[in-house]
Amino acid sequence: MLLDPKDQEALDVKDIDVQQKLSEYVSLIKKWNKTRNLVSRQSTDQDLKEHIVDCLAINREISSNKILDVGTGAGLPGVVIALTNPEIKITLLDSNQKKMAFLTHVKSKLNLKNVELRHTRIEDYDASNEKLIVCRAFSSPKELVKKIKKNINEQTILLMMVSEDQGTFIEGFSTKYIESLAGKILKKRRGFLRISSLKS
């Protein structure tokens, strides 16, 4: 199994079916990564496990039933959120056709009925109805806000996966660093940057 019992308990992933699908998802990443560059070619099994732990930890910070995952790549964190929260609708957005082909396969293989795929750039996507936008390793906080601030509403929350608190200041927005449970599990610096409009 991908996660040991202690991590399953901490991350609240006790459903056997979900654990099996997470393991299958990792296997698909490893298989397709040989030709699609989904993650680093040097990624080990431990690296992939850490990716999953990172993404599972974001569940604690989710308070919306509709999420947009920007620059999703291999589906991190969107696919992990979808697998562990079948009641939440997840839109996976990426401009890379090869990665979208992989995600199309993942959606079918893992029967992810709560996932929608969008092959486009965030600059060209109307995110005005999005309540929560998540992203991992897509761009810097300032660059992401610059790209999407004209396409979101004042209530939209951005939740970025980051390694540490960098004291980010973004004019017109509130930023709050939140320590991630993944940091304690992996014994590495892990956190989230919560970004919201000061007008909200």
Write out the CATH class of domain 5-197: alpha beta
Q: What 3-state class would DSSP assign to 157?
A: strand
Note if the pTM is more than 0.75.
yes
Quickly tell me which residue has 């589906």 as its tokens: 75
Q: Between β-strands 157-162 and 89-94, what pairing exists: parallel, antiparallel or unpaired? A: unpaired
Per-residue confidence in pLDDT tens, the chain, 200 aa: 789 899 999 999 999 999 999 999 999 999 999 888 899 888 999 999 999 999 999 999 998 999 999 999 999 999 999 999 999 999 999 999 999 999 999 999 999 999 999 999 999 999 999 999 999 977 789 999 999 988 899 999 999 999 888 778 899 999 999 999 999 999 999 999 999 998 76
Domain boundaries, the chain: 5-197
Say which amino acid occupies 164: E
